[in-house]
Amino acid sequence: MNSETHSINSGQAKTCQNCKQSFVIYPEDKSFYQKINVPEPTHCSPCRSQRRLVLRNERVLFKRSCSLCKKNIISMYSDDKPFPIHCPSCWYSDNWDPLSFGTDINLNRSFFEQFKALQDKVPRISLFNINSVNSDYSNYSLDNKDCYFSFRLVGSERCHYVYYCIGSTDCINSLYLHKSELVNDSFNVRNCHNCQNLVNCENCIDSAYSYDLRNCSYCLFCHNLRNKNYCLRNKQVSQEEFQRAWSEVVSGSRMKARDAKRMFNSLYKEKSIHRYNNIIKCTNARGVDLINCKDVFEVYNGSDSENVRYSEDIETTKDSMDLKGPMESELSYESCSIDNGCARIFFSNFCQRGCTDVYYSSFGINSSNLFGCISVRNSKHCILNKQYTPEEYNSLKEKIIENMTKAGEFGENFPIAMSPFAYNETVAVEYFPLVKEEVLKKGFVWQDKIGGTYGQETISQDDLPDEIRNVSDSVINQILKCEECGKNYRIVKDELDLYKRLSASLPEKCPHCRYYNLLRFRFPHRLWKTKCQCAGIASKNNVYKNGNQHSHGSASCSSEFETPYSPEGPEIVYCESCYNSEVV
């Protein structure tokens, strides 16, 4: 399975065996492959990412029963899967033994074939919902309480319809939240309180419909402000004037919310200036949305990490490549969802609580020296869920690697056919959108029966009160119709209470459409080379009036950079210097 290669600049060009496009193996890549003793990849970075992401279902949930206790549960697996599904309580219990499924390895057969046979027998956990209370409709959830239909959240309480939420309380319909409270319909906010419809804001209080604010309070329809109070459309106003405007806009009226969102969209596209990239406090970093990182390359959304390449959604990760969603991990490769002190995890998924030296395994908990294992907990030296002595394990492991290398299997992640999910159930569809025909042509699986009902609505949007204060609790007994996709959805009691507390209007779209409407603010996993757009913007429209002198004076800025903003997009994108001259 050797790819066509030739030298290019400081690296070596190869042809991806999947998409047939050229990609480069850099010296830093080669050093890492040699360090962990794996062959060079045959797929380019995007194709490797797609292959990883198709193993991860975050947001598509199904109702089914636990295979052990028989109780009705919520699961990320549909009921047509061949393997048993256990609720978290049963999966973590001593009522079953993962090693009872142990199988002898046959060195004359494909390893992947044998692993596929094992994975169709061993029970899997229904959801990654660990140490959470009253949060059944949540996945990739840890230490949460009273959360509903939320995903990738840690240490949060009373949050609904949120995604990637860390240490937050009473938040709803928002993506990428950190240590915030009472936030609605917002994207990428940190340390904010009582805010609505914010994008890329930090340390803000009582603000709404604004973009790129830092350390601001009482701001409405504002953008690119720092350390400001009582501002309306970027102008300082009196406290009384601001309160009148706030009461008029943030009133819980659906009609006024529609107008306010239109105004915000115009502000975002036509007036705001956009920093070329969100790379903050980083050294030698290439990627998107990076904070406090060092020596990272082609990393998208990362923080507090060092020496990581070709990965996404990384936190506190070191010396690794090709990872999705790691936290507190190191020296790992081609893996997905590893955290809590894991190290040396290769071609594996969902390893937690200090797993080490794991190859081609899934759902490992506090285990080490695993090869081809599923759902193994607190165990060592296992191959296909069968335990060996350390000497037997090491000897057999070398033989397996030798055979897999000859067959072209070792060094490659699991084949796409081994994913337990349909393509449109996984996060792959968000980053690599494909229609059904394309999915089937590429060998992926498509799920036609993703949950949801249509045509069952019991009340029309027009028959609901316009203002939230006039909406009675009886609305929780009604079935609504999404104005965008037509799917039915409900309003739950805790959700309604939060809208009233925030003076937020009832949502007119289903949770799925709300999620995708905010997802448009997430940067793509791609960089374009372009030029600073500072030239003529301020002088022509007279939008920015802070009086700072730009380094290029009255001439056009000649700075070029790589940015996740598409050249065809409407955003006004500035280089670092020009951006700082306008907003600091």
Mean pLDDT of 449-465: 91
pLDDT of residue 544: 45
pLDDT of residue 284: 96
| DSSP conformation class of 269 | I
Strands 480-481 and 488-489: antiparallel
Mean pLDDT of 468-497: 96
The residues, ordered by sequence, that sit 6+ positions from 109 with a Cβ below 8 Å of its Cβ are: none
- Any domain includes 415: no
- Any domain includes 435: no
| One domain, residues 143 and 271 | yes
Helices (H) and strands (E) in the chain, counts: 13, 37
Spatial distance between the Cα atoms of 196 and 199, rounded to a whole number of angstroms: 9
| One domain, residues 172 and 265 | yes
Strands 333-346 and 327-330: parallel
Alpha helices (runs of H) in 379-492, residue ranges in sequence order: 390-406, 428-431, 436-441
Beta carbons of 420 and 83 less than 8 angstroms apart:
yes
pLDDT of residue 283: 96
| One domain, residues 168 and 251 | yes
| One domain, residues 509 and 547 | no
| One domain, residues 148 and 248 | yes
The residues, ordered by sequence, that sit 6+ positions from 399 with a Cβ below 8 Å of its Cβ are: 107
Domain boundary among 476, 496, 519: 519
Range(s) of the domain holding residue 483: 461-519
Whether residue 7 is predicted with pLDDT greater than 50 in this model: the reply is no
Which is higher by pLDDT, 535 or 183? 183
Mean pLDDT of 17-42: 95
In 193-305 the beta strands, taken as DSSP E runs, fall at 193-202, 208-214, 217-220, 223-226, 229-232, 235-236, 273-275, 279-280, 283-291, 294-303
- Any domain includes 266: yes
- How many other β-carbons are positioned within 10 Å of the β-carbon of residue 5? 13
Whether residue 8 is predicted with pLDDT greater than 80 in this model: the reply is no
| One domain, residues 144 and 196 | yes
Dihedral sign for Cα atoms in the order 58, 61, 65, 71: positive
Whether residue 327 is predicted with pLDDT greater than 70 in this model: the reply is yes
pLDDT band at 440 (very low <50, low <70, confident <90, very high): very high
pLDDT band at 130 (very low <50, low <70, confident <90, very high): confident
| One domain, residues 150 and 30 | no
Cα dihedral angle (419, 420, 426, 432), rounded to 10 degrees? Answer: 20
Spatial distance between the Cα atoms of 284 and 294, rounded to a whole number of angstroms: 6
- Any domain includes 237: yes
| One domain, residues 197 and 227 | yes
Spatial distance between the Cα atoms of 102 and 396, rounded to a whole number of angstroms: 15
Chain mean pLDDT for the chain: 92
Mean pLDDT of 463-476: 96
Per-residue pLDDT tens digits for 271-306: 999 999 999 999 999 999 999 999 999 999 999 999
Whether residue 326 is predicted with pLDDT greater than 70 in this model: the reply is yes
Which is higher by pLDDT, 80 or 168? 168
Whether residue 2 is predicted with pLDDT greater than 70 in this model: the reply is no
| One domain, residues 542 and 490 | no
Whether residue 501 is predicted with pLDDT greater than 90 in this model: the reply is yes
- Any domain includes 365: no
Per-residue pLDDT tens digits for 70-97: 999 999 999 889 999 999 999 999 999 9
pLDDT of residue 215: 97
Whether residue 581 is predicted with pLDDT greater than 90 in this model: the reply is no
pLDDT of residue 9: 59
- Any domain includes 445: no
pLDDT band at 448 (very low <50, low <70, confident <90, very high): confident
| One domain, residues 19 and 141 | no
pLDDT band at 331 (very low <50, low <70, confident <90, very high): very high
Prediction pTM value: 0.91
Task: Please give the share of the chain, as a percent, with pLDDT higher than 70.
Answer: 96
Whether residue 545 is predicted with pLDDT greater than 60 in this model: the reply is no
| One domain, residues 468 and 543 | no
- Any domain includes 206: yes
pLDDT band at 417 (very low <50, low <70, confident <90, very high): confident
- C-alpha distances in angstroms, 11 versus 29, 296, 385, 571? 9, 17, 40, 34
| DSSP conformation class of 454 | B
pLDDT band at 138 (very low <50, low <70, confident <90, very high): very high
Mean pLDDT of 117-130: 94
Whether residue 5 is predicted with pLDDT greater than 60 in this model: the reply is no
What string of DSSP letters covers 284-337? EEEEEEEES-EEEEEEEEEES-EEEEEEEEEEEEEEEEEEES-EEEES-EEEEE
Provide the number of structural domains found in the chain. Answer: 4
| One domain, residues 577 and 502 | no
- Any domain includes 110: no
